[in-house]
Amino acid sequence: MLYLVRWPNLSCSLVRAGSEREVLDIIDELDNPDGVKIFQYDGPVFIDFDLATDDVTPVHGVDRDDPKPLSDANIKIGDVTRIANHEMPRANIPDVDTGMEMYRAMAAKAFPALHKALFSRDGARTPTLRTVHNAVRKEAMMLVATAWRRRHLERSQDPIDQIAVRMGTSPDVVRSMAHDAGVLEDDDWTPF
């Protein structure tokens, strides 16, 4: 199943996992998942991966508009340091119809205030900068809520909360680990 994870900042992730508990384990590899919102995602997916950066492309001399057939003499290989160092390719959503459909579907779930500001029902809306600013402020309030939640966890006497603070993760991840270790029963699991 594909899940959309809304982080407290203005970012989101797409994660394929078997359950929300597995999503937590996966995203914990990146950052503390405390305060995230997780949604099932069944919208369109179109992601473009690029091995090149803005200033370094490993392949030179390729002209897609040239009517002549391409030969190996046309291809010049440049700096491949990033690739050799296993740097991740850049991912982006292409600026095409399906890419826009994906952006709209993700925004509708992960950034509802921004989605409302950016898109009308017929799709023909050009919001004012003030409208977008206010929507982004509403979305950013998740950061405030998460900061207060983390502060509460630091003061909590609950053993799971204390472990989560020491581990730099969320109580949900600690519960998941305790469940997997057989310390908690299924009935004790309370996601989010």
pLDDT digits (tens, 9 = 90+) for 23-62: 999 999 999 998 999 999 999 999 999 877 555 555 655 5
83, 31: one domain? no
Q: In the prediction, which pLDDT does 13 show?
A: 96
177, 149: one domain? yes
Looking at the DSSP bridge assignments, the partners of residue 60 are 76
54, 85: one domain? yes
151, 65: one domain? no
- The total number of residues shown for the chain amounts to 192
Cβ(104)–Cβ(115) below 8 Å: yes
Residue whose C-alpha is closest to residue 27's, from 6, 56, 41? 6
Counting as low any pLDDT under 50, the low residues of the chain are 189, 191-192
pTM summary value? 0.76
Phi, psi of 50 (to 5 degrees): -130, 125
Number of domains in the chain: 2
13, 106: one domain? yes
Residue whose C-alpha is closest to residue 102's, from 18, 42, 49? 42
